[in-house]
Amino acid sequence: MESLKWTGSSLKVLDQTKLPFKIEYIECMIYEEVASSIKKMQVRGAPAIGAAAAFGIVLAAKQRQFAKISDFQKFLHEATHVLQKTRPTAVNLFWALDRMKSVWSLKNWETVQDIITALEKEAIAIFKEDIELNKAIGKLGMELVPDGATILTHCNAGALATAGFGTALGVIRACHKSGKEIAVYASETRPLLQGARLTVTELMNDGINVTLITDNMAGYLMKQGKVDAVVVGADRIAANGDVANKIGTYSLAVLANYHEIPFYVAAPYSTIDMTLHSGKEIIIEERDPLEVRSISGNPVVADDVPVYNPAFDVTPHSLISAIITDKGVLRPPYEQTLKQVIKEDKNE
Ligand code: MRU
């Protein structure tokens, strides 16, 4: 199962809202369709959203004819704005759109066709690079996991949430591939059940020992000594190491801290946002109350029940034992170690 397939003239998006029962790809021919599938969470997960948006810009570049380069650039500016408005929390979306903008906004282009060719090359590079970053995260992260360990993960930070291999699940996959005997608990992740529907499916497909729990079971498992480490992904990491990730991550970090269980965050450099000093500045997406009033589309309460539905929370850096990036395993003080990673990336 691949989250995204680029055909050269369209982007095929695996409709993750239908998983695990149906494997259906939606073919996006214009950037507005990509924006809509990000909004509806047919494609979701921070790096996958970023890669989808990058291909969205390529579709925008191909979907209309322009005689003047300035008109073409104006249209790409509009498309960027529409794609930016889809989901606010994962920085990878903005990172990928900025990377595409650094190509199309150059001053010295001679033809529209030259820009289109360069944009397609850049989107493909973002996609391919993400798989390599995840493999590097897996390789570095597996050193933290002892043979025989049981890992708890939340939401889905797997191949489906990325261009491939995954971040948190990349660590788990690398452990499994290296021959380590590991077991995984996947929390179901209400309201949209990414843990139950996506993580469990991915790990079972790979023959990795996974057990599904509901979100409220984690504390009891930890108390019984059944969890050796928690590994999760991230949607945005602030300069001080605070991490936004799927709602429920913070509760797991507090529980892990109380039970003295290491709590690891796995994420590529594209998830680090050095423009934000702390997690307080991260915008937390709030989604439709219907997601909480129902389970998999089936209502569980009356449609006038008041609901609060934040899609993410922020885990303070003090609860994070290490951040596993493609460039190394970072330890506190994150202000310094994150700065070093970003500096290295700029020098490459
Ligand atoms: O709302 P979602 O499903 O897009 O949220 C996904 C997560 O929170 C993931 O943990 C995060 O994006 C990291 S994916 C490698």
Residue written as tokens 């599938």? 37
From 235, 263, 272, 314, give the residue whose CB has the most ligand 1 atoms within 8 Å, as the site to mutate.
235
- Residue 345, pLDDT score: 76
Span from the CA of 312 to the centroid of ligand 1 (angstroms): 9
- Residue 90 CB–ligand 1 contact under 6 Å: yes
Span from the CA of 231 to the centroid of ligand 1 (angstroms): 13
- Tokens (6 digits) for 165: 């291999």
DSSP SS3 for 59? helix
- Residue 343, pLDDT score: 84
Q: Could you give the angle at the alpha carbon of 312 between the alpha carbons of 83 and 141, nearest 5°?
A: 95
- Residue 161 CB–ligand 1 contact under 6 Å: yes
- Residue 152, pLDDT score: 99
Report which protein residue has its CA nearest ligand 1's atom 15. Answer: 157
Q: What is the pTM of this model?
A: 0.97
Q: How many Å apart are CA 185 and CA 107, to the nearest integer?
A: 51
User: In this predicted model, what pLDDT tens digit does every residue of 20-34 receive, in sequence order?
Assistant: 999 999 999 999 999
- Residue 346, pLDDT score: 77
Contact 176, 152 (CB under 8 A): no
Span from the CA of 344 to the centroid of ligand 1 (angstroms): 25
- Residue 155 CB–ligand 1 contact under 6 Å: yes
- Residue 66, pLDDT score: 96
- Residue 198 CB–ligand 1 contact under 6 Å: no
Catalytically active residues, by annotation: 235
Question: Which long-range contacts does 285-293 make (Cβ < 8 Å, 24+ apart)?
Answer: 285/87, 285/88, 285/89, 285/310, 285/311, 285/312, 286/310, 286/311, 287/191, 287/311, 291/191, 291/192, 292/190, 292/191
- Tokens (6 digits) for 68: 């003047």
Domains of the chain and any CATH numbers: 4-133 (1.20.120.420), 136-347 (3.40.50.10470)
- Residue 215, pLDDT score: 98
Low-confidence ranges of the chain (pLDDT < 70): none
User: In this predicted model, what pLDDT tens digit does every residue of 165-208 receive, in sequence order?
Assistant: 999 999 999 999 999 999 999 999 999 999 999 999 999 999 99
Residue 40 has φ and ψ, to the nearest 5°, of: -80, -5
- Residue 47 CB–ligand 1 contact under 6 Å: yes
